[in-house]
Amino acid sequence: MYYRKPHYYDKFSCTAEQCPDTCCAGWQIVIDENSLEKYSNVSGDFGIRLLNSINWREGIFEQYEKRCSFLNAENLCDIYKELGADALCDTCRLYPRHIEEFENLREFSLSLSCPVAAKMILQCQEPVRFLEEEDEKEECEEDFEDFDFLLFDCLLEVREKLFSIVQNRTIPIEKRMYCVLKIAKNLQTALDEGELFERDFMAEIELCLQEKAEDFSGNLYEIVQAFRKDLLRLEVLREEWKTNLKAADNLFQKGETWYVEKRDRYKAEIKNTIGQEQWDIYKEQLLMFFLYTYFCGAVYDDMIYSKGVLSVISVFWIEEITFWSWAADEGQIEEKNLLETAYRYAREIEHSDENLNLLEEIFDLDKHYKPETLRCIFVRERKQHE
């Protein structure tokens, strides 16, 4: 068995009661069967509390005022306090650690939805390195009997090349984002037409990098409005997320000219405060996170392009929503603004299969997410930086 993880993975440490937005509030916590059995056998007063504070039919902890019933006033876990770390259910023990399972390979990552993990991801200044280990353990073949090894090898090879491009800081970040989209689209087309192993994708990647930035066409204002409507279609897991999206109501009511000018001023402020180079590193790290976490999952559903769009558009959305929040009062632009938007966005996307499936469908069918449409945005952004 092979194991892969980003170089910062093992540095994660939960800040417990110091966390700015505890993971024990605001969403349902699913309990694994072994932990449920363990909890059912606890005696005494705490056993009675467990009995009354778990939804045994659904296998989840009850919530009070949207907080886990075992999250105390100090933002610490009473199960941990009373029974010890070994008593934590799998969800609480592992989060924000995440594992993607493939035949003979496990890829470990940290969930962007955790504020501490998000800070580690965004503040990483160096290009991400992936550490690999191997042991003698073998997977049960029955678990992967339909696994498409040839497709997976192709996805891994292309993703590795995309990693090198995404982390090449001599290339404008907008071009790197477009390249991910274009190659994911080419892969999808080849797969759909049965030509996946007849194409030279390494050569196609080089051609994509050689494309020149032409004058952009397309209405940014209309495209962003369409994006926001899609975000509003998603299941809302936390009410503050809805507040973030609603913050843009007034912006769009003031019309296209006002919106575009305000957005351009925001971009200028980024250059003057954080600096364009640093801002692009934030976007690079986000793009690497989404690409690493989701791209190869296409081996299970053949939705390659949707995974590419999710990786790219998530970076764009996080930046755009951060702009909406700033535009309300034009306060100082800081890293923490982008950080907060990033982990709140991830909480709505990463932890809802309903939202992920809906986005896959939208990306696959909606013209606003085609490479040629999104390119007009990236060309415009790039010209602003020059």
Does the model's pTM come out above 0.95?
no
How much is the pLDDT for 139? Answer: 67
What pLDDT, on the 0 to 100 scale, is given for residue 296? 96
Residue spans of beta strands (DSSP E) within 200-249: none
- Does a structural domain hold residue 120? no
| Apex 168 CA angle, 165 and 173, nearest 5 | 85
**304 plus 189 within the same structural domain:** yes
Q: Are residues 174 and 45 in the same domain?
A: no
The residue written with tokens 């397309």 in the block is 218
Looking at 94, 112, 128, the residue that finishes a domain is 94
Q: Which of 67, 94, 121 is the last residue of a domain?
A: 94
Question: Which residues neighbour 365 within 8 Å (Cβ) at sequence distance 6 or greater?
Answer: none
* pLDDT of res. 330: 77
Same domain membership, residue 246 and residue 380 = yes
Q: Are residues 194 and 60 in the same domain?
A: no
Q: Please report where in the chains the tokens 């809802």 appear, as a residue.
A: 352
Q: What is the pLDDT of residue 247?
A: 74
Three-state DSSP class for 266?
helix
Q: Are residues 245 and 374 in the same domain?
A: yes
Structural domains counted in the chain? 2
If phi > 0 it is left, if psi is from -120 to 50 it is alpha, else beta; for residue 16 that is left
- Encoded tokens for 123: 């503040």
Residue 241 lies in a domain: yes
Predicted local confidence at residue 4, as pLDDT? 97
> Do 78 and 168 have their domain in common?
no
Query: Looking at the structure, do residues 89 and 230 belong to the same domain, yes or no?
Result: no
Number of residues that make up the chain: 386
Q: Among the three residues 69, 94, 119, which one is the final residue of a domain in this structure?
A: 94
Crossing angle of helices 239-246/335-349, nearest 10°?
120
Residue 50 lies in a domain: yes
Q: For residue 150, is it within any domain?
A: no
Q: What is the pLDDT of residue 32?
A: 95
Q: Specify the pLDDT at position 10.
A: 94
Report if residue 264 sits inside a domain: yes
Query: Residue 101 domain-assigned?
Result: no
Domain encompassing residue 356: 164-385
pLDDT at 323: 93
Residues 333, 253 within the same domain? yes
User: Could you tell me if 187 and 331 lie in one domain?
Assistant: yes
DSSP characters over 296-364: GGGGTT--HHHHHHHHHHHHHHHHHHHHHHHHTT-----HHHHHHHHHHHHHHHTT-HHHHHHHHHHHH
Same domain flag for 85 and 219: no
Q: CA 288 to CA 285: how far, in whole Å?
A: 5
CB 132 within 8 A of CB 292: no
79 plus 203 within the same structural domain: no
Strand partners, 51: none
SS3 57: coil
Residues 159-171: b if buried by 16+ CB within 10 A, e if exposed: bebbbebbbeeee
In a domain, 157, yes or no: no
Per-position pLDDT tens, the chain of length 386? 899 999 999 999 988 888 888 888 888 899 999 999 999 999 999 999 999 999 999 999 999 888 999 999 999 999 999 999 999 999 999 999 999 999 889 999 999 999 999 999 999 999 999 999 998 887 666 567 788 999 999 999 999 999 999 999 999 999 899 999 999 999 999 999 999 888 888 888 888 888 776 655 568 888 899 999 999 999 888 877 887 787 788 888 889 999 989 999 999 999 999 999 999 999 999 999 999 999 999 999 999 999 999 999 999 999 999 999 898 877 788 889 999 999 999 999 888 889 999 999 999 889 889 888 888 777 777 666 55
Same domain, 88 and 171: no
Is 253 strand, coil or helix?
Answer: helix
Does residue 107 lie within any of the structural domains? Answer: no
